[in-house]
Amino acid sequence: MFKNFNLDKLKNGLSKTKKRLFDGIQEAISTKAVIDEDILDELEEILISSDIGVDTAMNVIKNTRAELYYESDRSKLNITQIIKNELESILLKDDKIASDKSSIIDKKPHVILVVGVNGAGKTTTIGKLAYNYKNAGLNVLIASADTFRAAANEQLEIWANRAGVKIIQKSTGADPSSVVFEALENAKLNNVDVVLIDTAGRLHTKSNLMKELEKIRNVITKVIPHAPNEVFLVVDGNSGQNALVQANEFSKSTKLTGLIVTKLDGTAKGGVIIQISAEQKIPIKYIGVGEGIDDLQDFDSKEFIEALFS
């Protein structure tokens, strides 16, 4: 739905990933004419070092090995293509198209709940989402349901101002569900198209905080039966294997509909995306590739892979 997808920026932001993942692979391949176990071991190291996870790495290697068994063309180019296809098939499986504008207006308010662990980048992402929806010509309202972290309200307010959208907030320590309730009532009265709900960061291991999320979700459905339309989990692109557990646990309490992966401009990884896509049934919706308000992009697995290879 966001038309600001910019391949150059993506390529730029992901150049670190590319450097590690595929320059490495090509280097491994180009030094030897024939694929042997050493090269496959080296490929495995490159994949694992990119946070792709042991299982996914093993699978990609296994499938590549199988392909190569009958393959007479073991050139660098061809092997790259085989791996590219492998990764692409993993990513494309869960690829879904983000909601378009007309369906949002059909059934409004379109309610988006944003959850995640501490420091993943939820608030910044909300700011960027608000800006994008506003630019798409929609009437946006932000609900500041992080009533826990010091100055969370102030931070979100600055983002709301930058994006030029309204914000509903209460004092620190207030019941987050009450903020949500008020925001949704406000949205119904004022013909709001999109409601973005920011929540406090919480570790997925804290059962009381996860129950709080369940409650927020229930309140949303009570006020607006068709909502929440989306529940986004924000995952730090620097995360290691724990991102999978996070996705699992948050899904249990809030039924996630999508993932947003942040901080992909700074990390040498990005492998976590491939892994989540392979092991979870939740599609990746957006990626964050910078600190600017427009540095949030639609996740497009095909272009993502192309950007990695080009």
Partner 1 sequence: MLEDLTLKFDKALKKVTGQGRLTEQNISDTMRELRRVLLDADVNYKVAKSFIDDVKIKALGEEVLASVSPGQMITKILYDELTRLMGGTRSELTFSASGPTIILMVGLQGSGKTTFSAKLAKYLKDKNRKVLLTAADVYRPAAKDQLKTLGTQIEIPVFSIDESKDAVLISQESVKFAVANGLNTIIVDTAGRLHVDDVLMDEIKRIKAAIKPTEILFVVDSMTGQDAVNSAKAFHDAVDFDGVVLTKLDGDSRGGSALSIKAVVDVPIKFSSLGEKLDSIEIFHPDRLASRILGKGDVISLVEKAQIQYDEREAEDLEKKLLSNNFNFEDFLKQIKMIKKMGSLKSLLGMIPGLGTNLKNVDVDDKQLIKVESIIQSMTKEERGNPKILNGSRRMRIAKGSGNSIQDINRLIKQFKEMGKMMKMFKNNKNLQRAMKKGKGK
Query: Site residues (CB under 8 A) for partner 1?
Result: 16, 45, 48-51, 54, 117-121, 148-155, 157-159, 172, 203-207, 236, 238-243, 245, 263, 265-269, 271-272, 291
**Bridge partner list, 157:** none
Neighbouring CB atoms inside 10 A of 16's CB total 16
At its nearest, how many Å lie between partner 1 and the CB of residue 119?
A: 3
Shortest separation between residue 285's beta carbon and partner 1, angstroms: 20
Distance CA 165, CA 183 (A): 13
Amino acid at the residue 42: E
To partner 1, the closest distance from the beta carbon of 78 in angstroms equals 26
Side-chain-side CA neighbours of 170 within 13 Å: the count stands at 16
CB of residue 45 vs partner 1: minimum separation in angstroms?
A: 6
Nearest residue (CB) to partner 1, 35 versus 243: 243
Taking the alpha carbons at both ends of the chain, their separation in whole angstroms is 25
Least separation in angstroms between CB 160 and partner 1: 10
Pick between residue 18 and residue 263 the one whose CB is nearest to partner 1: 263
Question: Which residues touch 193 (CB under 8 Å, ≥6 apart)?
Answer: 104, 105, 108, 109, 110, 133, 138, 139, 140
Q: Which is nearer to partner 1, 109 or 201 (CB)?
A: 201
Crossing angle, helix 76-93 and helix 54-70, to 10 degrees? 130
CB atoms within 10 A of CB 298: 18
CB of 38 to partner 1, least distance (A): 14
Smallest distance from partner 1 to CB 125, Å: 11
With 0-12 / 13-18 / 19 or more C-beta atoms within 10 angstroms meaning exposed / middle / buried, residue 102 is exposed
Q: Of 144 and 229, which has the nearer Cβ to partner 1?
A: 144
| Exposure of 160 in the CB half-sphere (CA atoms within 13 A) | 21
Residue nearer to partner 1 on the CB measure, 9 or 110: 9
Nearer residue to partner 1 within complex by CB, 159 or 181: 159
Name the residue nearer to partner 1 (CB basis): 78 or 242: 242
Token pair listed for 154: 């102030």
